[in-house]
Amino acid sequence: MMHFLLETFAQGLPARVPEPEMLMRDAAQVDAYAAQGRQHGFLAPLHLYHAIQASAFICPGDVVLDLACGPGNQLMQIARMNPAAQFIGIDASAEMLDQAQQLQACEAVDNLSFQRCLLPALEGVASHSVDAVICTMALHHLPDLAALAATFGEIKRVLKPGGRFYAVDFGRLKRVQTQRYLARQRKREWPEVFCVDYYNSLRAAFSAEELVGAARDVFGEQVELRQTHQVPLFVAVMSGPPMPVGATQQQLARAAYQVFDAKQRADFRDIARFFWQGGYPLAFAPWA
The predicted-structure confidence for 20-30, as pLDDT tens digits, reads as follows 876 666 666 66
What pLDDT, in 10s, does the model give residues 221-279? 999 999 999 899 999 999 978 899 999 999 999 999 999 999 999 999 999 999 999 99
Return the amino acid letter for 229: H
| pLDDT value, residue 23 | 61
Q: What is the spatial distance between Cα 53 and Cα 250, in angstroms, rounded to a whole number?
A: 11
15-40 average pLDDT score: 70
| pLDDT value, residue 28 | 62
Partners of 79 in the beta sheet? none
Q: How confident is the model at residue 35 (pLDDT cuts 50, 70, 90)?
A: low
pTM: 0.92
Partners of 234 in the beta sheet? 170
| pLDDT value, residue 85 | 97
Fold exhibited by the domain 25-172+207-277:
Rossmann fold (3.40.50)
**Helix or strand holding residue 132 (H, E):** strand 130-136
| pLDDT value, residue 4 | 85
Cis peptide preceding 242, ω within 30 of 0 = no
| pLDDT value, residue 59 | 94
Q: Where are the alpha helices (DSSP H) in the chain?
A: 2-9, 27-36, 44-55, 73-81, 94-107, 145-158, 176-184, 192-204, 208-219, 247-258, 262-277
Tell me the HSE value of 85 on the side-chain side, using a 13 A CA sphere. 30
Residue 184, sorted as left (phi over 0), alpha (psi -120 to 50) or beta, turns out to be alpha
Q: What angle do CA 150, 240, 277 make, to 5 degrees?
A: 105
Return the amino acid letter for 212: V
Q: What is the spatial distance between Cα 110 and Cα 115, in angstroms, rounded to a whole number?
A: 15
Strands 63-67 and 86-91 turn out to be parallel
60-89 average pLDDT score: 95
Q: What is the mean pLDDT of the chain?
A: 91
166, 134 contact by CB (below 8 A): yes
Domain ranges of the chain: 25-172+207-277
What pLDDT, in 10s, does the model give residues 172-211? 999 999 999 999 988 888 888 888 999 999 999 999 999 9
Q: Give the gyration radius of the chain's Cα atoms.
A: 18
